[in-house]
Structure 1
Amino acid sequence: MRIRGLKKAFNGRTILNGIDLDVPAGQSTVIIGGSGNGKSLLLRCILGLIEPDAGTIEIDGENIIAASRSRREALLRRIGMLFQNAALFDSMSVLDNILFGLRAKGNDRNKDHAAQEQEALHLLELVGLGPHVAPLNPAELSGGMQKRVGLARALAGQPDILFFDEPTTGLDPIMSAVIDGLISNCVTQLGSTALTITHDMTSVTRIGDHAAMLYGGKIIWQGPAETLMNSGNPIVDQFTHGRLEGPIPTGNLTATPTEKR
């Protein structure tokens, strides 16, 4: 995937101001950046949920923004998405949530219902969940289990590109490691191309081959994930090490607290 000059503004405020990013095929790329810097907006533009104001987004050299509607839909069907809060349908069982993903990708055309269910159960197995979970509703699952079901749905239709929006948010360290391991397996075993946005620096080192930082509407640094914590870029270093002092404004966070009387 290749992104060049991507721009998007809302009500006169520019959020994305010329994004240039290369996402190597068959590898895992991680994007970091502070809240409100446009990381999720970038994913929505790629997914076609929001129309960018300018720029190109290429998949295998084909600009999906300029493509016809039918061609764009065909290209986007190659993408699986794990949303930040799993985004499962509360009114559907776990099984039906995954079946929805299969049908959305058009994988039900030549399969009867029993075959579809077997494929859904296989996807649950891939993320470490047994068939006993299938009839449950999302509200009956822990946060970590919901994320795994969301990942199973994202894998429906065997997409060769996977997006992960803050996949470990709200999870304890052990479950975060489990989710990171599943993401890594998607890349190494399934040969998928992965693009993840996260605030979790531990996740970056566990799942990333490449890393990039979004700041001020642009990608200000990108390189091997293993060099992220020692990038030599003062903005990246302040963010990754959680320092109050540096080029990133912290407002009144550095002010001395008022003494209680």
Structure 2
Amino acid sequence: MNAQPKIRIRGLTKSFGPKKVLDGIDLDVETGTSFVIIGGSGSGKSVLLRCILGLVTPDSGSIEIDGEDVLTASGKRREELERQIGMLFQNAALFDSMTVADNIVFGLRAQCRAQHKRLSAAQARTQAGEILRQVGLDPSVGALAPSELSGGMQKRVGLARAIAGTPAILFFDEPTTGLDPIMGAVIDGLIVDCVKRLGSTAIAITHDMASAQRIGDRAAMLYQGKLVWQGLASELMHSGNPMVDQFTHGRKDGPISMELRR
């Protein structure tokens, strides 16, 4: 592994009023690996992701990409660092007013602007078709509206848009939510394939334990704003940590349920 991780987080905190959502998060994500974060609703997973994306400003701590703290970087430099990131949102979040192809071209043009390159309409359409093939869709799908697609197809298009700019970092927010088990496995396979092919570093948040093990190299669990466990994703179902074991096996009794009864 590299001495310097692609993403290094130290002492990250965030509160909303009296509620402390993140409470001293320390996390390293090595270059070219996939890291999965699990945890119940309200544990801080989404807030952590938004902090890294620059959508939420933490109260304290540091977030480094390639050794550079994005929180103290200049506005222009911070934008450059954040342009390295591609994102697959929970519900795909496609632009309804655009065709499938235009959604993907949106991602392509954003990357071209960042690299000060020009992309003709013909080049954009050709590349969009190639990216659709990479996620298992025929280029003809590009002419459709997002509303004409099934949930699984929307996820594929969302993934296509996320990888369009060949990002160094990919984020996945509950990538299998709303999908049946077979389609969930298909989407996970596409994610793993895309991450490996691009050589990207990935972070995913999920409630789906099968998905977590398929996607992740390493994993962590958030509980009450703290990382209570970190280890190999393959160890999620037999971590030896009471909180992780209760969560991954869906047991109603345990240290987490005692907290919920208060």
Q: TM-score range by the shorter chain?
A: over 0.9
Q: How far did 1:109 drift?
A: 3.0
- Output the amino acid matched with 1:149: V
State how far apart, in whole Å, the 2-side matches of 1:186 and 1:112 are: 25
Match of 1:144 among 152, 157, 171: 152
Q: Which has the larger radius of gyration?
A: 1
Match of 1:52 among 40, 49, 58: 58
Q: Does 1:224 align with 2:232?
A: yes
Q: Secondary structure at the match of 1:95?
A: helix
Match of 1:241 among 243, 249, 253: 249
Q: How far did 1:38 drift?
A: 1.2
Residue in structure 2 matched with residue 61 of structure 1 by the alignment: 67
State how far apart, in whole Å, the 2-side matches of 1:134 and 1:186 are: 19
Q: How far did 1:178 drift?
A: 0.6
Q: Does 1:5 align with 2:11?
A: yes
Q: Is the 8 A contact 2:35 2:219 kept in 1?
A: yes
- Output the amino acid matched with 1:75: L
- Output the amino acid matched with 2:69: N
Residue in structure 2 matched with residue 259 of structure 1 by the alignment: none
Match of 2:204 among 181, 196, 207: 196
Q: How far did 1:132 drift?
A: 1.4
State how far apart, in whole Å, the 1-side matches of 2:118 and 2:146 are: 28
Match of 1:127 among 135, 155, 159: 135
Q: Secondary structure at the match of 2:192?
A: helix
State how far apart, in whole Å, the 2-side matches of 1:177 and 1:242 are: 20
Q: Percent identity?
A: 67
Q: How far did 1:103 drift?
A: 1.6
- Output the amino acid matched with 1:146: Q
TM-score (norm 1): 0.94
Q: Is the 8 A contact 2:109 2:119 kept in 1?
A: no
Residue in structure 2 matched with residue 37 of structure 1 by the alignment: 43
State how far apart, in whole Å, the 2-side matches of 1:219 and 1:132 are: 44
Residue in structure 1 matched with residue 104 of structure 2 by the alignment: 98
RMSD: 1.4
Structure 2 counterparts to residues 167-186 of structure 1, below 5 A? 167-186=175-194
State how far apart, in whole Å, the 2-side matches of 1:51 and 1:216 are: 19
Q: How far did 1:156 drift?
A: 1.4
Structure 1, unpaired ranges of 5+: 253-261
Structure 2, unpaired ranges of 5+: 1-6
Residue in structure 2 matched with residue 158 of structure 1 by the alignment: 166
State how far apart, in whole Å, the 2-side matches of 1:142 and 1:112 are: 30
TM-score (norm 2): 0.94
